[in-house]
Amino acid sequence: MTLESPPVLTIAGSDSSGGAGIQADLKTFTVHGCYGASVTTALTAQNTVGVQAVYGVPPDFVKQQINSVLDDIDVKAIKTGMLFDTENTKAVAQILKGRFDAKGHIPLVCDPVCVSTSGHALLHPDAVDTLIDELFPLSDLITPNKAEAELLLKQRNFPSRIENLQDMINAARRLKTLGPQAVLLKGGHCVFPLGDLENVSSDDTQVIRDDLLDENSNILRIHGMKEQHLDSLVVDVLCASDNHITIFARTRLQSTSTHGTGCTLSAALVCQLARGTPLSEAVRLAAAYTHTGIETAIPIGSGFGPLNHIHSITPCLVSPRTKTNPYPLTSSLIRSSRVIWKEYVQHEFVVLLGKGTLPKENFIHFIKQDYLYLKYYARAYALLAAKSHAYAPISAAINVVFSIVQESSMHMSYCAEWGITEDELINTSESPALTAYGAFLIDTGLQGDSMNLVVALAACLLGYGEIGLWLKEEARAPDSWVQWEGNPYLKWIEDYSGDVYQKAVKAGLETLENRAAADAPSPTRFTDWQDVWERCTRLEKGFWDMAMKLEV
């Protein structure tokens, strides 16, 4: 077995309904490309309604199972789940310690399963001390939920009540003093508003908003990613070995398909650690997998059903489209280039244009170069039509070419309003910034992957849509810096924030996402898409730079 499919081990209870315990773990291991081994600590009679009975496995047999696996298989990471009682907890801790002392440490994730979601006790009360004293010191990470964290803290006479985000941070740091290298305090049973994230920022705290909209994402919000749920966020808190805090914030899902969530998350974490993924990134990826498993689950049973563990049989670089994230590729592209994307959207040229104070000569220089850019843009879409293999995309690309030709006529009329004659416009020399951008579009179109050209063209289409919406949104703010009434550039702002252009933005988003969904990228292709997007974003910023410097 190669590291392409690293062996991992779960030591946990069995779930007869298949949604949690070792059954959930083995499903998660498989879809993450890991070879899964298991040690059973207890048998349960349970379903989506609750746990009806638990039958513990004798501790000597638990030890035999662990020895059988570790004597033969080069396990790269281990997780523990439900350990049932003191004897089994001691047996697991003692044999793992002996193994680690003799043959070297194996990354260990301890999910301190104490109580089921339905309220059934899954760990005998007298086993909690054993868990803390003997297993936590061996653990690279423990993953308690709110109820488990409060129980563990109370057991050691720490303040234990968790009611807000700061309580979660304090609790995570206190739990780390109990012996583990790191703590992930899960927040599935806590709900916080977005404003709470802003109140905890400090030098040793990082916030990762994985499925929340960053700034300069108005095109996603307006066209599908609704955020009326910002007052109900789920927040996980990671306290690393150096006490640095990372907060993972996600939208709360209204779902009854949550059976086995904790098991699934810790199993996904083990898979990431087995491959050497850094802890913070491992948590982000595992949380994203679990979140999508909840959102894409099909209801099973009459109570709290299981997640959809197989939503990603093969690693999926672009998440599936969902109601809360209908544009996963675009979100990913914007997020991966957030710094240059912001410099593009909020460029000095755009800001001065919004204020109405942009010097006239800069704007005239820009619209003359923009007229020439439309030729490159039309030719690029013609190349896209030539590279398409079906009538529908050919027709769509040709329609865009016709639209650009019509836009060029309107652009000429617009230029005339600024005193630019048709002859002057036609004979304008290309600036180096325009030539560089146009050459990149044509070169991308001539190369193999047509999706690279789709991404390149989208950077312009979506970027101007985002700029229009940003200026429009800023204009609505109290005491806005945007000058709306009497702004000499108001028509330009209204054009790109208006319904006609935003309809084109919506169509562009759909094209980008549908093509990605129909032809899932390999890691190499996905990297190419990211590179093309960032390159075009930089070239767009260069276009604004050119306008400010009046480069010819």
Catalytic residues: 186, 258, 260-263
DSSP string for residues in 156-173: TT------SHHHHHHHHH
- Euclidean distance between CA atoms 138 and 132, whole angstroms: 10
For the chain, count helices (H), then strands (E): 21, 10
DSSP 346: T
In b/e form, how buried is each residue of 425-464, taking b as 16+ CB within 10 angstroms? beebebbebbeebbebbeebbeeebbbbbbbbbbbbbbbb
Number of neighbouring beta carbons within 10 Å of residue 67: 14
The torsion angles phi and psi of 121, rounded to 5 degrees, stand at -70, 125
Tokens 């020439």 -> residue = 372
- Euclidean distance between CA atoms 370 and 416, whole angstroms: 14
- The two tokens of residue 73 are 């298989």
Residues with Cβ < 8 Å from 417, sequence gap 6 or more? none
Q: From the CA atom positions of the chain, what is the Rg in Å? A: 28
- Euclidean distance between CA atoms 410 and 408, whole angstroms: 5
Quick check: 11 and 81 in contact, CB under 8 A?
A: yes
- The two tokens of residue 509 are 């988003």
- The two tokens of residue 253 are 């899902």
DSSP string for residues in 469-524: HHHHHHHHSTT-S---TT-TTHHHHHHHHSHHHHHHHHHHHHHHHHHHHHSPPPHH
- Euclidean distance between CA atoms 487 and 237, whole angstroms: 47
Strands 245-251 and 233-239: antiparallel
Number of neighbouring beta carbons within 10 Å of residue 413: 9
Distances (CA, A) of 398 to 148, 250, 381: 60, 40, 7
- Strand, coil or helix: what is 111? coil
Residues with Cβ < 8 Å from 459, sequence gap 6 or more? 532, 533, 536, 537, 540
DSSP string for residues in 275-328: TT--HHHHHHHHHHHHHHHHHTPPP-SSSS-B--TTTTSS--SSPPP-SS-S-H
- Strand, coil or helix: what is 15? strand
Distances (CA, A) of 483 to 342, 357, 495: 21, 9, 16
Task: Say which amino acid occupies 94.
Answer: Q
- The two tokens of residue 126 are 């007298």
